[in-house]
């Protein structure tokens, strides 16, 4: 017969064993306290019942023991019923604090969504579709051209300029309906050219330099081979401070526009003879003013006597 032997008990308990024993003791103490509280409630109910019955007898109340028991049960049940507090700032702040994590996440997501939407759909973000960007540029360009036309009309002193600007505006609006950017560009260039011309102010005078000719008797063959002759005064455009301005001249002999600082203006025979006699008399040309260009005007105005004021001017650039 084999006898089982138990392991020897260590006289000095280990730390882990002591901790387990303390945990068991704490759990037993918690169970005992819970049981005590439950028994205490029952004892309190019995004591309350006796006091209520005694009070009813003293006051002559007809309440029965069953009614008192029901009232006691209802009272204790209402002790653990939650009642929503009245809304005020403190309650609101408490709700916000409890839900702070959810509110923070929702705020971040909402802000990110708004930023993405603003970036995608805001015209200033530069991320619009190409068609929307083109429409924006088209509208801005039309507006700029209209403002330029208004500025030209404001700066013009000649009423015919306003009429010519109105004609360009009609072309502009037609180009807008047809979505024709080439015409819009053309109108803009013409208005810019007129604006520059309106600001100019100078006098066209006959050349008086002794080393240069003041006039010529010109002969040439036109495009049909016809022999053409005429008298031309050699002129320049002078500003008030004495500068000589280059001008765009339409050469009647070649049919081409050329930019020159000296050119010839056709004059009738009697004007030629008068200017010739003036210079021969003392070697000094007294009558030199041929035309003037005032600010607010698009064209020069011929002021020399005997020269036709209207019609196409015949000009040359070589002789």
- Segment 2-29 mean pLDDT: 60
The answer, yes or no, to whether residue 123 has pLDDT greater than 60, is: no
pLDDT at 234: 96
pLDDT at 137: 86
pLDDT at 129: 58
The answer, yes or no, to whether residue 202 has pLDDT greater than 90, is: yes
pLDDT band of 33, cuts 50, 70, 90: low
Q: Which is higher by pLDDT, 65 or 284?
A: 284
pLDDT at 37: 59
The answer, yes or no, to whether residue 116 has pLDDT greater than 80, is: no
Give the Cα separation of 138 and 172 in Å (integer): 12
- Segment 285-295 mean pLDDT: 94
| Largest CA-CA distance found in the chain, in angstroms, rounded | 170
> Could you read off the pLDDT of 144-187 as tens digits, one per residue?
999 999 999 888 888 888 889 999 999 988 888 888 889 999 99
pLDDT at 86: 77
Q: Which is higher by pLDDT, 6 or 292?
A: 292
Whole-number percent of the chain with pLDDT over 70: 77
pLDDT at 108: 83
In our burial notation (b when 16+ CB lie closer than 10 A, e otherwise), range 273-288 reads eebeebbeeeeebeeb
| pLDDT, mean over the chain | 81
- Segment 137-141 mean pLDDT: 87
Range with the poorest average pLDDT among 20-24, 71-75, 86-90: 20-24
> Could you read off the pLDDT of 47-87 as tens digits, one per residue?
767 777 777 677 777 777 787 777 777 766 766 666 677 77
> Could you read off the pLDDT of 233-266 as tens digits, one per residue?
999 999 999 999 999 999 988 889 999 999 999 9
> Could you read off the pLDDT of 216-232 as tens digits, one per residue?
998 877 777 777 789 99
pLDDT band of 205, cuts 50, 70, 90: very high
């Amino acid at each position: 017969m084999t006898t089982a032997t138990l392991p020897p008990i260590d006289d000095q308990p280990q730390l882990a064993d002591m901790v387990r024993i303390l945990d068991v003791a704490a759990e037993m103490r918690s169970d005992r306290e819970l049981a005590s509280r439950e028994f205490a409630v029952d004892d309190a109910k019995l004591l309350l019942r006796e006091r209520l019955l005694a009070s009813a007898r003293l006051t002559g109340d007809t309440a029965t023991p069953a009614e008192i028991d029901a009232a006691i049960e209802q009272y204790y049940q209402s002790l653990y019923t939650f009642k929503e507090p009245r809304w005020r700032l403190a309650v609101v702040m408490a709700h916000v604090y409890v839900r702070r994590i959810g509110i923070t996440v929702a705020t971040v997501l909402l802000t990110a969504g708004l930023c993405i939407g603003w970036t995608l759909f805001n015209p200033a973000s530069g991320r619009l579709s190409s068609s929307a960007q083109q429409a924006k540029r088209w509208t801005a360009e039309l507006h700029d051209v209209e403002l330029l036309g208004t500025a030209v009309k404001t700066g013009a002193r000649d009423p015919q300029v306003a009429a010519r600007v109105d004609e360009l505006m009609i072309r502009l609006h037609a180009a807008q309906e047809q979505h024709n950017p080439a015409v819009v560009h053309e109108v803009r260039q013409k208005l810019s050219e007129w604006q520059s011309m309106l600001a100019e102010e100078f006098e066209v005078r006959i050349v008086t330099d002794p080393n240069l000719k003041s006039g010529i008797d010109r002969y040439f063959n036109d495009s049909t081979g016809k022999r053409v002759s005429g008298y031309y005064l050699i002129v320049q455009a002078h500003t008030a401070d004495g500068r000589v301005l280059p001008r765009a001249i339409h050469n009647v002999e070649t049919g081409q526009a050329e930019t020159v600082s000296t050119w010839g203006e056709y004059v009738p025979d009697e004007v030629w003879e008068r200017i010739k006699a003036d210079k021969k008399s003392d070697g000094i040309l007294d009558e030199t003013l041929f035309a003037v260009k005032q600010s607010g005007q698009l064209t020069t105005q011929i002021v020399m006597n005997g020269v036709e004021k209207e019609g196409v001017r015949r000009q040359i650039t070589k002789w």
